[in-house]
């Protein structure tokens, strides 16, 4: 028999969701069977899969020890460096400036040097998080950025903050602004791109259409040209939706592919440019809350920016980001 005491990070979630994280080796079907047989109890009584857990609850699991064997993957973060570029940090959240070339989660390369592993290693080293003291929670990312795109990524340090942030992102109450260098000068210099994006997972790319397609999802991006030169333009984009490769694909469809982007642009157009990756950076984040934000209410209206954008001075402008 093993017991789990529900802590603050565990509370508020369904029992079945909690067990899936706390005892990942226990199959879902078997879990429901054990609930029916009263081999899983809450505070000594029969419990249901959908009941909400409360801080202080005591779960008792009368199941085989084999389901509690530790997983090596739970310690993968220890293989990563704890070095991260912090934009902002408090007790609930962490804003990190991800550099181009780094993946946010483990991909097909199976490298342990991911952004989430670095964040967990950083918090572990600080003594703010220890997986041995948590039953179901681990610091998690709330948004993703492509490997070769840089910029601000939000990480939740508590379960309550994670729930609030996921809700605010879903309801579009967190505004994300990007800077990019594009070929040519978009006309008009300010506007909104609205079309439909369909994802091709085999090709690892998306396709844009001006008319709705069967698999197409609406994609909306505001843009404004900040300055032009050398056949390029520095453009600020604000996302209203979060589709895969949205800015890269929409700007290319608009006739202005990003500098350095060989997936949606042309190799010959980028041959003489000094960029290893697409010139795209998530440089500003606005907590534009319109509804109550619980434990993150203090962030309402706050704006955070990245000071240095790798490609921002390419048009020979000094202190470029300060004008945005």
Q: Residues 157-195: pLDDT tens digits? A: 999 999 999 999 999 999 999 999 999 999 999 999 999
Q: Which of 306, 206, 199 is nearest to 248 (CA)?
A: 206
Give pTM, 2 decimals: 0.84
- How does strand 280-287 pair with strand 303-305? antiparallel
Q: What are phi and psi of 173, to 5 degrees?
A: -105, 15
Burial of 153 (0-12, 13-18, 19+ CB in 10 A): buried
100 neighbors 34 (Cβ within 8 angstroms):
no
Which pLDDT band holds residue 16 (cuts at 50, 70, 90)?
A: very high
Low-confidence winner among 19-28, 217-226, 257-266 (lowest mean pLDDT): 19-28
Residue 320 has pLDDT above 90, yes or no: no
Q: 2-68: which CATH number, 3.90.1150.10, 3.90.1640.10, 3.10.290.10, 3.40.50.80?
A: 3.10.290.10
Which ranges constitute the DSSP H helices of the chain? 15-22, 28-36, 115-126, 159-170, 246-253, 267-270
Q: What is the pLDDT of residue 74?
A: 60
Q: What is the pLDDT of residue 110?
A: 66
The neighbour count for residue 248, using CB atoms within 10 Å, is 24
Q: What is the pLDDT of residue 73?
A: 52
Which pLDDT band holds residue 322 (cuts at 50, 70, 90)?
A: very low
For the stretch 74-91, pLDDT in tens is 678 888 999 999 999 999
Greater confidence, 20 or 297? 297
Q: Which of 249, 250, 232, 253 is nearest to 184 (CA)?
A: 232
Which pLDDT band holds residue 253 (cuts at 50, 70, 90)?
A: very high
Q: Which fold has domain 72-169?
A: Pseudouridine synthase (3.30.2350)
Share of the chain above pLDDT 70, in %: 94
Q: What is 174-323's CATH superfamily?
A: Pseudouridine synthase (3.30.2350.10)
The pair of three-digit structure tokens given for residue 248, joined into one six-digit string: 């890269």
Q: What is the pLDDT of residue 134?
A: 85
Which pLDDT band holds residue 131 (cuts at 50, 70, 90)?
A: confident
- Region 295-305: what's the mean pLDDT? 98
The neighbour count for residue 173, using CB atoms within 10 Å, is 17
Q: What is the pLDDT of residue 260?
A: 95
Q: Which residues are catalytic?
A: 146
Ranges of CATH 3.30.2350.10 domains, the chain: 72-169, 174-323
Ranges of CATH 3.10.290.10 domains, the chain: 2-68
Residue 324 has pLDDT above 80, yes or no: no
Low-confidence winner among 6-20, 106-120, 293-307 (lowest mean pLDDT): 106-120
The pair of three-digit structure tokens given for residue 168, joined into one six-digit string: 């605010």
For the stretch 200-228, pLDDT in tens is 999 999 999 999 988 999 999 999 999 99
Which pLDDT band holds residue 238 (cuts at 50, 70, 90)?
A: very high
């Amino acid at each position: 028999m093993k017991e789990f005491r529900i802590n603050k990070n565990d509370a508020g979630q369904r029992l079945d969701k909690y067990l899936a994280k706390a005892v990942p080796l226990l199959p879902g079907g078997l879990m429901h069977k054990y609930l029916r047989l009263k081999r899983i109890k809450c505070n000594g009584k029969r419990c249901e899969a959908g009941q909400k857990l409360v801080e202080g609850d005591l779960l008792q699991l009368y199941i085989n020890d084999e389901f509690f064997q530790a997983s090596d993957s739970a310690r993968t973060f220890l293989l990563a460096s704890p070095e991260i570029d912090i934009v902002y940090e408090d007790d609930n959240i962490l804003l990190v400036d991800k550099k181009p070339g780094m993946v946010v989660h483990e991909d097909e390369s199976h490298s342990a040097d991911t952004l989430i592993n670095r964040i967990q290693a950083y918090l572990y080293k600080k003594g703010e998080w220890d997986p041995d003291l948590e039953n179901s929670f681990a610091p998690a990312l709330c948004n993703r950025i492509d490997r070769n795109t840089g910029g601000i990524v939000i990480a939740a340090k508590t379960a309550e903050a994670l729930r609030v942030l996921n809700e605010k992102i879903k309801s579009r109450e967190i505004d994300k602004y990007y800077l990019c260098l594009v070929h040519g000068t978009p006309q008009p210099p300010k506007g909104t791109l609205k079309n439909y994006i369909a994802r091709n997972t085999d090709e690892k790319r998306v396709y844009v259409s001006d008319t709705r397609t069967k698999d197409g999802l609406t994609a909306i991006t505001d843009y404004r040209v900040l300055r032009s030169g050398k056949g390029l333009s520095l453009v600020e984009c604000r996302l209203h939706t979060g589709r895969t490769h949205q800015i890269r694909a929409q700007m290319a469809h608009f006739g202005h592919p990003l500098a350095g982007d060989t997936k949606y642009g042309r190799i010959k157009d980028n041959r003489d440019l000094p960029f290893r990756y697409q010139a795209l950076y998530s440089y500003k984040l606005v907590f534009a809350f319109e509804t109550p934000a619980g434990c993150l209410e203090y962030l309402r209206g706050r704006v955070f920016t990245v000071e240095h954008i790798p490609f921002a001075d390419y048009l020979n402008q000094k202190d470029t980001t300060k004008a945005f």
